Structure 1
Amino acid sequence: MRLFVLILIVFNQLSIFGCSSSESIDDRQIGTRPLFIQSSIQSGAQDVSFGAQTITLVFDQNIVLANNDAITLNGDKLSNVVAAFKDLKITVPLLKSTSYTLKIANNAIKGPTGLFADAITVSFQTKEGTDQSVKSKLVVSSASPQAEKLYGFLRENFGKKTLTGAMANVSWNTNEAEWIFKHTGKYPALNGFDILHLYASPASWINYSDTKVLENWWNANGVVTLMWHWNVPATNGSSDYKFYTKETSFDISKAVEEGTYENGIIKADLDKAADVLVLLKNKNIPILWRPLHEAAGKWFWWGAKDAVSYRKLWVLMFDYFQSKGLNNLIWVWTSETNDKEWYPGDAYVDIVSCDLYNRVDNNTILTVYNYLRSNYSDKIITLSEFGSISDFTSQWNSGIYWSWLMPWYDYNRTLETNSANFDEPNHQHANINYWKKIMASDNVLTRDQLPNLK
């Protein structure tokens, strides 16, 4: 009787698990192995776009990444690999005219039952020339040879190399770049300048018609970017000049109307700015020109009201500078993200940038970057200002490929280049340890690494 009961229990257990005489346990487990379905880049492809690319491999079931080191591209281990549901996403910078072999070993990908996917190999070739997803033609008419050469260099390197940059302390110097050089032995590739005191120039303390500092930087093989914290009278007829919305009654909606007081101020200022830019044009210096920045934030008077007035002001400036023959300008628009109504339009913008502060989480930075890449897919994307954000290498490994990056200045640290403060490695926005990590990366360019762009 006991033997009969035992046999009955075993029979019932087998019935519950549905085991038949023709199916073994091993056969059932093999059936749950993750199966590779397809890759966004097919093996054997010969014309793959280069630059920043995400390769997506799709499986027949949800997967997890079991061994990151078991995934290589041309023998190099990859760090930016993410498993999400049935997709394996691999973000990499690809060089032009290069053969690649992506290998995923048989211990890299695991399914829900704990079984591994078979080994996968995807071989492909990137196309020659420049990535066609980014427009090749500048928006200015008959761009200067130097502007075309600089833009072509940025376009060719977008997604492969990031230019390092430093911002002038206040307006018209290279103090921050000198501070970086003092502590690292290398100059950043790019220096930012600001004509915020244009209303006072020429004066004993500021004279923008003296362009020697920009000439020296350009002649030393550096790239120049120029912005404008545009100061206007605090009130009608005031000699006190401001650019913050809360400090001036200047009305942008009236500034773009013919015959108004504000319109007269705008036109006079544009004329004065054009005089400075013409001096640089005559020296054959191309300028990454970034006016009217952070408008949708509304903290500056040029963004205080509506997007329509802002776009009108941008076009007014663009057309006026065109009439002055300023073909050395590469036009950079700064997005606050989710502000497409403020975008001046493809006919007026070459490069799209953003300014980021206090962002230590790569995921939040990646969200911004992906927003800009998806909404302005034919534009170079750059980090025009930053302060206190995650380190460069971790950003790069997350698939964040800025064309250039530039921390804002620390006023007290670099105001006087012969002061004790200048000898200190700390910095409000990016200290020397931060810079040393940047300089150690193979994915950045410093001034000494730039080609002749003249």
Structure 2
Amino acid sequence: MAGIAAILAVPGTAAVAGNASAGETVSPRGARKKAAGPVAPGANQQAVNLLAFVTAQYRKKIISGQQESTWIDGPDYEMNYIHEHTGKYPAIRGLDICDAPGGATERAIAWWQAGGIPMFGYHMGAPTYSDDYDGSKQTVSIDKVLTAGTAENKSFVERLDNAAAQMNKLREAGAAAIWRPFHEAGGTWFWWSKEGGDQYQRLWEYAFDRFTEKKVTNAIWLMGFNGEPAASASFYPGKEYVDIAGADTYAGDQNYDPQKAMYDATTGVVGDAIPVALHENGPIPDPDELVSTGAGWVLFNTWNVEHLTQSNTVDHLVKVYGHDHVVTRDEVPDLN
């Protein structure tokens, strides 16, 4: 893998290599947008380098990723399983901010220091409900969530501030991360997506502004649709607020389809301006079919436990992690 200096020479990234504020413009909605580089105002060098690396892989290679679990055999269960069977580690370690009290932030820092890329999702509980997966499926008025002075708003702000604090711990340790909030947009199972696209966009922009206020300069913002991105186009906040877009699917066990139709549907919504990720998956798409069909996913993020061990055979994992089209942790350049 080329060094980071070569990666930053990719057209559209070099302009920000020495100055993270270069090319800054103002969008019609008033949010600051850089001509090149991360959408976060004042993005630091690690974030600039991370996005440059991801962008350089788009439609050329796919970056491997794996979501951790914390309840099977320690939080390294999936990483150890992959390494035991393939001799490789995934480039991306998927984590959840909900697990911060259990050391997720420290694991993210350690992953970066070992040469990998952390990616934080957040199953944020509906404000005033429990801040966990069960809470994320509750129903709450988004108007109340976004109205200052309500219990829902106070809860929402507290949770955003906690997430920002975790990201800033990474920043202070010299690490950047992909930040993947409010995922599976367009679905009706998580509170943030139950009131339609306009309300979802309001939430996204509020969270973006709060992170900006809290000086989170090391986040690469990934906005993930569900498995029907074309039907969920109204949820897209626009490239002023999104560095990477994505979609997800949990195809049947050992169905290694490249998901070309879903890839095309996602690019049909967001265009060619930003990379497109398979931000959650069960079976990992066959790398040969990714190449032959032109399904240009920039990364995959296999879900944990049985989605890794049952949806993918060991032989398939060996093929994936040994394939020239797949980027593993040892192939990530120094992003510092």
For the residues of structure 2 that align with 1:160 and 1:174, how far apart are their CA atoms? 29
How far the C-alpha of 1:272 sits from its partner, in A, is 1.4
How far the C-alpha of 1:368 sits from its partner, in A, is 1.2
For residues 360-379 of structure 1, what are the structure 2 equivalents within 5 Å? 360=255, 362=257, 365-376=259-270, 377-379=272-274
Task: Please say which of residues 264-273 and 171-180 is displaced more in the overlay.
Answer: 171-180
For residues 274-293 of structure 1, what are the structure 2 equivalents within 5 Å? 274-293=164-183
> In structure 2, do the counterparts of structure 1 residues 225 and 242 end up closer, same or farther at CA, with 3 Å as the change threshold?
closer
> In structure 2, do the counterparts of structure 1 residues 241 and 158 end up closer, same or farther at CA, with 3 Å as the change threshold?
closer
Say which of 154, 171, 179 aligns to 1:264: 154
Cα deviation, 1:240-290, whole Å, max 9, x if unaligned, reads 555458952433232112222211110111111111111111111111000
**Corresponding letter in the other structure for 2:10:** T
> In structure 2, do the counterparts of structure 1 residues 140 and 242 end up closer, same or farther at CA, with 3 Å as the change threshold?
closer
For residues 214-363 of structure 1, what are the structure 2 equivalents within 5 Å? 214-232=108-126, 240-241=130-131, 243=133, 248-336=138-226, 337-338=229-230, 339-358=232-251, 360=255, 362=257
How far the C-alpha of 1:344 sits from its partner, in A, is 1.4
Residue of structure 2 in register with 1:194 after alignment: 96
How far the C-alpha of 1:129 sits from its partner, in A, is 5.3
Contact 1:245 1:304 (8 Å CA) reproduced: no
For the residues of structure 1 that align with 2:47 and 2:136, how far apart are their CA atoms? 37
Residue of structure 1 in register with 2:37 after alignment: 137
> In structure 2, do the counterparts of structure 1 residues 155 and 303 end up closer, same or farther at CA, with 3 Å as the change threshold?
same
How far the C-alpha of 1:362 sits from its partner, in A, is 4.1
For the residues of structure 2 that align with 1:269 and 1:361, how far apart are their CA atoms? 37
Long gaps (5+) in structure 1: 1-127, 414-425
Identity of aligned residues (%): 29
Contact 1:381 1:402 (8 Å CA) reproduced: yes
Contact 1:245 1:299 (8 Å CA) reproduced: no
Contact 1:256 1:309 (8 Å CA) reproduced: no
For the residues of structure 2 that align with 1:129 and 1:248, how far apart are their CA atoms? 46
Cα deviation, 1:300-357, whole Å, max 9, x if unaligned, reads 0111122222111111110011011111000000023121110112111010011111
How far the C-alpha of 1:147 sits from its partner, in A, is 0.7
Residue of structure 1 in register with 2:302 after alignment: 407
Residue of structure 2 in register with 1:442 after alignment: 324
Residue of structure 1 in register with 2:19 after alignment: none
Long gaps (5+) in structure 2: 1-7, 14-34
> In structure 2, do the counterparts of structure 1 residues 432 and 146 end up closer, same or farther at CA, with 3 Å as the change threshold?
same
Contact 2:120 2:177 (8 Å CA) reproduced: yes
> In structure 2, do the counterparts of structure 1 residues 177 and 346 end up closer, same or farther at CA, with 3 Å as the change threshold?
same
For the residues of structure 1 that align with 2:133 and 2:143, how far apart are their CA atoms? 15
> In structure 2, do the counterparts of structure 1 residues 341 and 317 end up closer, same or farther at CA, with 3 Å as the change threshold?
same
Which structure has greater strand proportion? 1
Residue of structure 2 in register with 1:212 after alignment: 106
Superposition misfits of 4+ residues, deviation over 6 angstroms: none
Contact 1:244 1:299 (8 Å CA) reproduced: no
For the residues of structure 1 that align with 2:324 and 2:114, how far apart are their CA atoms? 22
For the residues of structure 1 that align with 2:136 and 2:39, how far apart are their CA atoms? 34
For the residues of structure 2 that align with 1:246 and 1:178, how far apart are their CA atoms? 29
Which structure has greater helix proportion? 2
Question: Which one has more relative contact order, counting CA pairs under 8 Å at least 6 apart?
Answer: 2
Look up the SS of the partner of 2:279 in the other structure: strand
> In structure 2, do the counterparts of structure 1 residues 446 and 321 end up closer, same or farther at CA, with 3 Å as the change threshold?
same
Calculate the aligned-residue CA RMSD, in Å: 2.6
Task: Please state if 1:452 is matched with 2:321.
Answer: no
Q: How many residues align?
A: 300
Look up the SS of the partner of 2:240 in the other structure: helix
Contact 1:383 1:406 (8 Å CA) reproduced: yes
**Corresponding letter in the other structure for 1:429:** S
Contact 2:246 2:277 (8 Å CA) reproduced: yes
Q: TM-score, normalised by structure 2?
A: 0.81
Contact 2:256 2:283 (8 Å CA) reproduced: no
Q: TM-score, normalised by structure 1?
A: 0.61
For the residues of structure 2 that align with 1:243 and 1:187, how far apart are their CA atoms? 27
For the residues of structure 2 that align with 1:380 and 1:284, how far apart are their CA atoms? 24
For the residues of structure 2 that align with 1:330 and 1:262, how far apart are their CA atoms? 27
For the residues of structure 1 that align with 2:132 and 2:142, how far apart are their CA atoms? 14
Look up the SS of the partner of 2:52 in the other structure: helix
Residue of structure 1 in register with 2:25 after alignment: none
